[in-house]
Amino acid sequence: MEERSGSFGRFAALGLATAVATTLAAFLSIESDRGILTLLLIIGAGAFAAGRTGILRPWFRQAVEHQRTTGIGLLLSTVALCIVFRDDHFSLFLIGRVLLIILACLGLHLEFGSAGVVNFAGAAFFGVGGYTAAVLNAHSQMPHLLVLGAGGVASALIGSLLLLPLLRTRGHYAALITIAFGLLFRTFVEVNDSLGGPQGLKLDGLRILGWRFNDQLAIGPLHASFYANYVLLAVALLSLAFALVQRLEGSWIGLALDAIRLDEIAAATFGFEIARWKILAFTLGNFLIGVAGALSAFMVGFLAPNNFTFPESLTLVSIVLLGGIGNPWGVALAAFIVVLLPEKLQILQEYRYLLYASLVILILRFRPAGLIPRALRRYFGQPA
């Protein structure tokens, strides 16, 4: 019995991953607005029916149970998508962008999904990583793999400047500090001429150990758009970050973060050192955001202050919230919806902020736990 449930579980996990990838492939390959809308209707109807009848529930349960298999399945599916869309620049670019946004949102997830430290300056930290990468790329010979790390470190360091006020304040007061920082950063890069001012900065392509990311990717007879390089690197980084976040969540560190988020005073009376865990979550979160920003800067090849505005920060926050605060899988789903939908539905492009905002208002008002709510922590092995 045990054995069979195990193999069904793995099968279910891989099956779901394949289904997700197929849907995504369909979504990316349809060009017309009408086609996309039809697909959305089918998905919506399917999700509604599945929700009502509960047919897919055991599958999802197994997929959650076998997270590692699901993860590997999704990883392989992304590689498969790279092969399918090998000469479609735009689709690969979109996949890369979504992956990097998920990476950044994992950072936010650590910050306020786990530890409850608000951060309304996500786009600013993303920008810190990007600008660090651009400056190091232009003025130094630092190996590019280190440049990506440096983007993360710079973001974490600048974030640590905010730590003192953040630790002393809470709630709305803490929110103000990050909002003020976000506005400050945007203005700073806009008026600072050595950072390109409003025109922004250009970057050369990424090079790691002789692998030139801006050349066509060629493996044997297969040739692919250069964006495939970035997608592969992004998916590798994202997998690492995802594993890290899940490990943290499952460990006693995650437990400490949960306790602090839920009730600081109670956590303090039980001997948790609040400052230490908040510092850990905020620094690590900003590091992830910074790395995502650095790689994104390389991928786009261009940086401008207008990419790091306050509405962009809000978009990142809404992704975390939409997915379900505290659930990294939900974050991934929400990132796909929020990033891909307006890109593919041309009629929405103009209305996209209006759309996100209305969507978040509806979610907050009627389903405050998000699309995939946080699961309860399990303390003892398998459920009965």
Partner 1 sequence: MNIGLLGQYVINGMMLGMMYALVAVGFSLFFGVLDVIQFSHGDVVTGGAFAGLAVYLAVSRTIESPLLLLAAALIGAAASMAVLGALIGRGLVLPLRSAPALNTLLLTLMVGTVLREGIRLFFPNGSQPQRFPALLGARALGIGSFTLRLDNVLLLGMGTLLIAGMHLLIARTRLGLAIRAVAQDEETARTSGIPFNRVVLLTFAIGSVLSAFAGVMHGLYYNEINFGMGLLLGAIGFSAAVIGGLGNLYGAILGGFLFAGLQTVGAVALPLPSAYKDVFAFGVVIVLMAWRPTGLIGERASERV
Nearer to partner 1, 53 or 269 (CB): 269
Binding of partner 1 at residue 373 (CB under 8 A)?
no
Closest distance between partner 1 and the C-beta of residue 307, in Å? 16
Interface characters, 169-208, with partner 1 (x: CB under 8 A): x-xxx-xxx-xxx-xx--xx-xx-----------------
Longest CA–CA separation in the chain, Å: 67
- The Cα–Cα gap between 169 and 164 comes to 9
- The Cα–Cα gap between 92 and 213 comes to 13
Residue 318 contacts residue 360 (beta carbons within 8 Å): yes
Amino acid occupying residue 75:
L
Q: How many residues make contact with partner 1 (CB under 8 A)?
A: 42
Interface characters, 261-300, with partner 1 (x: CB under 8 A): ----xx----------------------------------
Half-sphere exposure of 106 (CA within 13 A, CB side): 28
- The Cα–Cα gap between 353 and 156 comes to 28
Q: Which of the 8 DSSP states describes residue 371?
A: S
Q: DSSP secondary structure string, 109-152? A: IIIIIIS----S-HHHHHHHHHHHHHHHHHH----HHHHHHHHH
Closest distance between partner 1 and the C-beta of residue 364, in Å? 5
Binding of partner 1 at residue 358 (CB under 8 A)?
yes
Q: Which of 204, 246, 357, 374 binds partner 1 (CB under 8 A)?
A: 357
Binding of partner 1 at residue 218 (CB under 8 A)?
no
Residue 214 contacts residue 202 (beta carbons within 8 Å): no
Nearer to partner 1, 91 or 318 (CB): 318
The residue length of the chain stands at 384
Closest distance between partner 1 and the C-beta of residue 265, in Å? 5
Closest distance between partner 1 and the C-beta of residue 322, in Å? 10
Q: Which residues bind partner 1 (CB under 8 A)?
A: 112, 118, 162, 164-165, 168-169, 171-173, 175-177, 179-181, 183-184, 187-188, 190-191, 265-266, 310-311, 314, 317-318, 321, 350-351, 353-354, 356-358, 360-361, 364-365, 368
